[in-house]
Chain A
Amino acid sequence: MAIYLTQESRVLVQGMTGGEGMRHTRRMLAAGTDVVGGVNPRKAGRTVDFGDRAVPVFGSVAEGIAATGADVSVVFVPPAFVRAAVTEAADAGIGLAVVITEGVPVHDSVAFTAYAAARGTRIIGPNCPGLISPGQSNAGIIPADITKPGRIGLVSKSGTLTYQLMYELRDIGFSTCVGIGGDPVVGTSHIDCLAAFESDPDTELIVLIGEIGGDAEERAAGYIRDHVTKPVVGYIAGFTAPEGRTMGHAGAIVSGSSGTARAKKEALEAVGVRVGGTPTETARLVLAALEGTA
């Protein structure tokens, strides 16, 4: 069944006519995503030809929804315009907005995540690779050809670690892989995804990838203890990160004694999550858990 994104999802792309938007719309279409339109007020009324599919450009998200019944938006606009783009999508009543853009100011993320939540719009991101339900739909920039449909659900702060684990577990396959993003404020949390995977009949096991910074993984551990019955396998990046240095992601920073990889690993292990020391070992733990031999 997958979570958040299925083959029924009808996808608009805000910023489709930009360089990144064009490139990734082409890839999404190739992965089977039902991209029903782009949004650009200056290019409304045109269509963009992607080989065998001509995609119309709408002047606003609201027009796109009215014309196509779209329920998902993927946002590729530059950082300065993300807040306005998400606000517009939420006002138009979109169900899910996936914000790929990196470098969004935190004050903007605080504002648009609160605004969207109040209007019932789920945000994934910002600064994320998006999500993919293999064989059904792909909203974002995750490479679609690494793996196939299957029974693992994956939630991750990191794009490339998502790809790495998808690749290592390619023979088992995935229900949905969600890259929630590595910024300090994101719209969808590990816990949101855990809850969705727990109630998804097609997901048998959940992989949770975290990294240094904040306490999202510790809170996820508390949620797993109280609410998750399916096996969870974890991986945490950043054991070698020094205090006070931002390691690439805006949110990946150890401040004082908080946010360390060790604390996150221990919190997860304390509630029965098996945590791998490397991506490869994590994949082995998943295979063992699925075989019931662990």
Chain B
Amino acid sequence: MDLYEHQARQLFDRHGIVVPRAEITDSPKEAREIARRLGGRAVVKAQVKTGGRGKAGGVKFAADPAAAELTARQILGMDIKGHTVGTVMLAEPVAVEAEFYVSYVLDRAGGRFLAIASAEGGMDIEEVAATRPEAVARVPVDPAEGVTASKAAEIAEAAGLPARAVDVLVRLWQVLVREDALLVEVNPLVRTTRGQILALDGKVTLDDNAAFRQARWGSETDGYGDPLEAAAAAKGLTYVRLDGEVGIIGNGAGLVMSTLDVVAGCGARPANFLDIGGGASAQVMADGLTVILSDPAVRSVLVNVFGGITACDAVAEGIVRALDTVRLTRPLVVRLDGNNAARGREILDARRHPLVEQATTMDGAARRAADLATAA
């Protein structure tokens, strides 16, 4: 889960990385008050979970409280790369002498984390990395050792960072490990004209799999933006909403992704990704179908199950259960194979719902669901 900048700041602060004073708001009037509290001048920053805010006009300087209100009014509601700005953060301005870049990222190929650091931070770090890779140090971190003071000194030396950044590198590693983050980035890390080292902006991605041991995550983890995604999450389903018209349910992430692709190859667009997981019960199947049918964009539904651990008769019973509670107004194509498939097909045949039909292959089922959706 990606965090907003203001949430990342909370984690930095918790681990002793110095950040400028700041507050968030969704109200221009309150923005004026915050600017006053910060001493009059403020940097107004859109809070969206995407990069490139500065270039998109989502970060602006305001010289006084009235300007802060006006600027907040301009930025709130802006669209930045498909993300609508719902809150702004007002931060005290800092006199910057130098900008650096530091991050720890997961190196999937190496199965460990890499420190990435550069003495040339700021908005153009991607360009620096692309045009002058030698200006960006990439240092692998041994998972058993972590980033100690001497390792941090090695990273700082490789990147040409000032000695005073060593402490930040150690603390940032602590953010990564103790908060179960997959990515921590400070860009820019700055030296002010008064010689202070500050994290001016930051990005953190937390590992959802570690939620069970992170009781301290609280205000950092907000809810789901999409109501259907929230409803699916409440039922424990893995659901991603897309912008097409064929609702898709399957078992196993790989098979569902594959089903999406096959439907798209038939000329229709998937409306969602819904994985009922392994060993799903009839109730899980019924819940999944209910979520999908509550999306008005869905014109047909494809259920594609290859029963390994999952039993196809349980899937069929789940479909029948959903038909008893939801009024089915759109066609449903079902393909069942594998574990207890014959029994599953019998259960659906016995129900004889006029809008439910079965297909014998994945490709045939996808073709049929796509045709039904585009004809509807």
Q: Which residues of A are interface residues toward B (Cβ below 8 A)?
A: 79-80, 103-107, 109-111, 113-115, 129, 141-143, 146, 156-164, 167, 182, 184-187, 209, 211-212, 214-216, 219, 235, 237-242, 245-252, 261, 277-280
Contact = CB atoms under 8 A, between A and B. Distances in A.
A164 B262 CA distance: 14
A103 B294 CA distance: 28
Given A80-B212, A164-B306, A278-B262, A157 B254 contact: yes
A178 to B, nearest CB: 14
Contact of A163 (B177, B308, B361): B308
Contacts of B260: 238-241
13 contacts: A110-B143, A114-B111, A157-B254, A160-B251, A160-B255, A163-B306, A164-B255, A209-B254, A211-B253, A216-B108, A237-B254, A237-B258, A278-B261
A129 B308 contact: yes
B253 A182 contact: yes
Given A214-B109, A215-B108, A247-B273, A159 B308 contact: yes
A167 B251 CA distance: 15
- Size bracket of the B interface: 35 or more
B112 interface: yes
B226 to A, nearest CB: 11
A280 B143 contact: no
Contacts of B251: 160
A231 to B, nearest CB: 22
A208 to B, nearest CB: 13
Contact of A158 (B253, B263, B337): B253
Contacts of A113: 111
A72 to B, nearest CB: 20
Interface string B301-320: 00000101100000000000
Interface string B131-150: 00000000000111000000
A142 B308 contact: yes
A161 B182 CA distance: 27
B242 interface: yes
B143 A161 contact: no
Contacts of A247: 240, 253, 256-257, 273
Given A159-B252, A160-B308, A239-B264, A215 B109 contact: yes
Interface string B169-184: 0000000010010100
A52 to B, nearest CB: 23
B210 interface: yes
B238 interface: yes
Nearest to A112: B143
Given A159-B254, A159-B278, A107 B308 contact: no
Interface of B: 106, 108-109, 111-113, 142-144, 177, 180, 182, 207-210, 212-213, 238, 240, 242, 250-258, 260-265, 269-270, 273, 275, 278, 306, 308-309, 337-339, 361-363
Return the 5 tightest CB-CB contacts between A and B, nearest first: A158-B254, A248-B253, A160-B252, A160-B255, A105-B210
A199 to B, nearest CB: 23
A156 B306 CA distance: 16
Contacts of A164: 255, 258, 306, 362
Most-contacted residue by chain B among A111, A143, A185, A251 (CB, 10 A): A185
A114 B144 CA distance: 8
B257 A211 contact: yes
Contacts of A252: 253, 257
B273 A107 contact: no
Given A105-B210, A106-B209, A248-B254, 8 more contacts: A106-B106, A113-B111, A114-B111, A160-B306, A185-B108, A237-B254, A248-B273, A261-B261
B252 to A, nearest CB: 3
A260 B209 CA distance: 23
Contacts of B252: 158-161, 248
A249 B254 contact: yes
Given A141-B309, A278-B258, A242 B242 contact: yes
Contact of A280 (B144, B250, B254, B363): B363
Given A103-B209, A248-B256, A252-B257, A185 B308 contact: no
A104 B349 CA distance: 40
A184 B106 contact: yes
A276 B331 CA distance: 29
A167 B338 contact: yes
B257 to A, nearest CB: 4
A103 B236 CA distance: 13
A163 B257 contact: no
